[in-house]
Every structure is written in structure tokens, then in C-alpha cells.
Amino acid sequence: MDTFQNKVVWITGASSGIGEAIAMAFAKEGAKLVLTARRKEELERVKQRTGLPDSSVMIVPLDVTEFDKANDAAAQIIAKFQRIDIMVHNAGVSQRSYIKDTDLDVYRKLMDINFYSTVALTKAVLPYMTKQKSGHFIIISSVAGKIGTIMRSGYNASKHALHGFYDSLRAETYNDNIKVTTVCPGYIKTNVSLNALDEKGGKFGKMDSNQENGIAPEECARQILNAVKKDKKEIYIGGFKEVAAIYLKRFLPDLLFDQVRKNIPE
């Protein structure tokens, strides 16, 4: 894909962080945007920031865990734009709690938000992409989708699940010219740790120092768009430490395990 001019891009989790940065990056490239999150007022703010006319941007407020609303949301977009070219699965929540302390409902919530919501929305969008014989899914996973770390067991599991599902989707839809790019960010300077779930499902409410010192969301978005243009299947974005950990997992897994178990979170 050489250009995003007039491409219809649906972004979940578009009200802040990486999602907002992706929205701004696509807007600068001339795309038409569909912005989804729970907070309508924040979506309105992002819409204003894009500078796009009403004819080129649409707000679809949605709690992505309301799976039965996915088809209606997709139909609204088709009614306005007649197509969906790119689906960005960015909505998600992290976790900060030990397995022994974590309620089962917290694990269910993590899987509903981070995994099952993407499945529901993908199944809603897929018929339109199949009909138009083109489309691109951008999956915001994480380095945690490759590595299991302390106090993030449910988050890790939900992100690992994305890789299995979307690797299968990429293979199944190849002949329909539907592509998948899975993105594994490391530490990005967002509020992800502040909003992470604790052992009872409340907000963790603390900023991790690694997150505070992470790369800017705008740089993350720039790398994502470049990867999509090149039809990259999977990319890693972050500092040396996070990206190196992925390669250690592949080639020196015992060494990585020793490092992970010693890395007690703050």
C-alpha cells in the first residue's frame, strides 16, 4: 500500500495514547477516519485535532466488550463511507497483579477487552473486506505477546492469543487480498500502567518508570504506518531492552527466563 489517501480507517481505542497518535498520523496522510472508544467527549477532541471535515471523519462511541453491537457499528460505517479499508485493533487494558491474588473475573475482563473484542469486530468487518477483495488489519499486540512477565499474566495471555488468531486470519484471507500487520510495542509513553487492572479489577493508578521513559506515541504511530505501507507481517517497536528480549526468547530462552524472574516490578 503506497498511500493512505482516501482510505477508510477504523481505529478502536482512539481517544488517547497510541490510538490517538495513529489517528493523527493517518489524518496527515489523507485518510478518512472512524474513531471508536467509550468516551464520546474525548473522541470529539481527537476529531477536532485531526482537522478533517465531517465528510472525512466519523465518531462511533462503543464499549468494545458489547460484542452484539459490533455488526451494527460496522454497518454504520459502511452506510457513510461504503467501505472499510483498514481496521486498527488498538483498544486494550493492561494488568498489575500476582496470579495468586487475581480474581478470575479480572482474567475474563482482560480477555474480553484485549482478545474477544477484536474477534467480534473482525468478524463484523471481514465480510465487507472479502466483498471488496481488499483490506488490512492492524493488531496492536505487545512485547508481552511474546514474553510472559511478572504481574501481567492475564495481559500476557490475552496478547499471546492475538498472535495465534491473526496469524490464522492472515493465512485464511490471503487469496482475498486481506493483510494483517501485528505490532508489538515495548515501552511507549502512555497511561497504560495508570489504567491497568489490579487484582480486584480496579485501576492500578501508578505510572511505571519504564512507561514514563518510553518512546513517544507519535513515533510508534509513524513506525506502524511505515510497516503497513511495506506490508510487514509483524514488527517490534521500543527500546533495545524490550526488542532484545524477543530475540532472547527465540534463541536463548533460559537466559531470558532468568532475567524475567529477577525483574520484580515496582
Cα distances (Å, whole numbers) of residue 259 to 143, 243, 245, 256: 15, 14, 9, 5
Cell of 1: 500500500
Residues forming a β-bridge with 178: 135
Catalytic residue check, 107: no
Of these residues, 107, 128, 155, 187, which one is catalytic? 155
Burial class (CB in 10 A: 0-12, 13-18, 19+), 149: middle
**Which candidate, 161, 136, 132, 134, places its Cα nearest to that of 146?**
161
Please give the single-letter amino acid code of residue 2. D
For 76, other C-beta atoms within 10 Å of its C-beta total: 14
Cα distances (Å, whole numbers) of residue 155 to 161, 202, 212: 10, 15, 19
Rounded CA Rg of the chain: 18
Instruction: Give alpha helix (H) positions in the chain.
Output: 17-28, 40-50, 70-81, 104-111, 117-132, 153-172, 209-212, 217-229, 240-251, 253-262
Task: Report, as residue numbers or ranges, the catalytic residues.
Answer: 155
